[in-house]
Structure 1
């Protein structure tokens, strides 16, 4: 019975694990809005309205991420500030690696699809993003 439960647990654990491939990384390009943060204790915080959106541009394994503010006409307000990153594979797990003059950190990429992605940082906070859909108000 113990062996059966152990086997069942392994199947569930590995069956629920999402593997990210190098082909999936191209889906990171574009505009993303945060959907939810999951804390280490399992609690979540939902984000229904986002005044800023993350723009990610990736070429090969190098890119940048910047905050932009969507406008009602479908355009964006932005600054020249961008956070450069590299993506590295660590034992088959892809990670964002950021480094600036003041800090250095990484985020593990947990999942990527065309419409969603999630990362977990070093504080074990998991950030879930969805592809940004602009609201275009025309007269």
Structure 2
């Protein structure tokens, strides 16, 4: 009986911890800053401050991702005129992002997406951890410095 309760508890916890892909897609839009890349379980590249951020915009499952360079005043400079086309699809209760450029096509599995964090896994099984971008100076800090 104890084993059955333990198994049911594990199943319930696992089922509750998986995010709903329809909810995940709602959190993708916006500015994201790379935090780290997990190349293998014991090999992680940390990014303390990246000069570029990703801007993602998806409407009705179609959108794009662009690289931007943040400015000190809170604005942005386009890193290039290129944008990666994104198509978001839910497959087997998992959110998959399909990317395409004139040069390549690939997909990433969304492992986690909420207001503050985005985690995706690419075709090489590398996990990319992003955090919601926050400008170095907030609007309040800029006003107090003037």
Classify the TM-score, shorter chain: 0.7 to 0.9
Equivalent pairs, count: 138
Please, which moves more after superposition, 37-46 or 23-32? 37-46
Task: Report the counterpart of residue 134 of structure 2 in structure 1.
Answer: 133
Structure with bigger gyration radius: 2
**Is the contact made by 1:20 and 1:111 (CA closer than 8 Å) also made in structure 2?**
no
Q: Cα 1:22–1:13, aligned 2, differ >3 Å: closer, same or farther?
A: same
**Is the contact made by 1:37 and 1:128 (CA closer than 8 Å) also made in structure 2?**
yes
Q: Cα 1:76–1:37, aligned 2, differ >3 Å: closer, same or farther?
A: same
Q: CA deviation at 1:17?
A: 4.6
Counterpart of 1:28 in 2: which secondary structure?
coil
**Is the contact made by 2:21 and 2:90 (CA closer than 8 Å) also made in structure 1?**
no
- CA deviations on 1:6-45 (whole Å, 9 max, x unpaired) are 9389549826853233133121111000011112343211
Inter-partner Cα distance in structure 1 for 2:8 and 2:23: 30
More helix as a share of residues: 2
Please, which moves more after superposition, 38-47 or 58-67? 38-47
Q: How does 1:91-106 map to 2 (within 5 A)?
A: 91-106=92-107
Inter-partner Cα distance in structure 2 for 1:22 and 1:117: 14
Q: Cα 1:19–1:73, aligned 2, differ >3 Å: closer, same or farther?
A: same
Q: Cα 1:16–1:36, aligned 2, differ >3 Å: closer, same or farther?
A: farther
Task: Report the counterpart of residue 74 of structure 1 in structure 2.
Answer: 74
TM-score (ref. length: structure 1): 0.85
Counterpart of 2:36 in 1: which secondary structure?
strand
TM-score (ref. length: structure 2): 0.82
Task: Report the counterpart of residue 35 of structure 1 in structure 2.
Answer: 35
